[in-house]
Structure 1
Amino acid sequence: MLVDAGLCYRNPSSQWCSPPHILPKDDGHRMTVDVREANKRVVQDFWQFAVKVKCEEIYSILTEEGVITPTRVLVGGTNIVAYVQSTVQAMLDDLLAYAETPEELLKLLRRVSTICEEKGLKLNPRTCKVFTTEW
């Protein structure tokens, strides 16, 4: 099914593999994959995202050898989360919205629904909660 959907491809020559776990859910099953062993063998990657040239100097670092200016985003930068979110396609698992009034919430829900439809995202009505006062 994952292969047919284009989410995976068959790879009989792979030197790596991780065990899947099928977990029961109220409405069926969910597959998770135990990637702990794979994670032990992967080099941690930092400094992936380039800083815009006009912002590089702002993040200069004082070292014993003088000032150095990074060309990559540093962890802790004020806008790093927004920058990464705008750069990386992320899988959205949970969506939380807030509005002052029911009318505003309906307007917001319509907008979210439109965006999901435009982007081909599907929402599971059995797991959607609307008009709640707490999560």
Structure 2
Amino acid sequence: MVTTGAVAERRTGWTSAGWAALYWVTVALGVVGGGGSWLWLYLASEEATRGASPDRTGANPNIPMGVTGLVVGHVVGLVLLLITARLARHRGRSVAAFAIVGLVIASGIGLALSLQLTDGRLVAPWPHAPFVP
């Protein structure tokens, strides 16, 4: 006997309502992770403005460290979303699509929240202030 819920789940592509809820909870938690990784980029660049060189000339040296944190955070988020989407979706192609869409949604909201905290800046300005000996 096939229940009405099973037919609806098969038609929508979700394996079950519980797995679908887990997927969306993972996306929601990804907002925190995405916001944290975007904020990491700003904080790493801001740390470099605190006097890495006395005259504050040259490029901001901590941006590569900030980009590394940003990339690692997003790769971890994508892997978690792929795992939960695989549990929540019937078809393989929709798994990748849902993982990527979830990552873009979470990262976009996280970026917007991070920009609110940093006055709209992705990285700290370099040099932060004119050099005064």
**TMscore range, shorter length:** under 0.3
- Higher Rg: 1
- The structure that is strand-richer by fraction is 1
Q: TM-score, normalised by structure 1?
A: 0.26
Query: Bigger relative contact order, structure 1 or 2, given CA contacts below 8 A and separation 6+?
Result: 2
Q: TM-score, normalised by structure 2?
A: 0.26
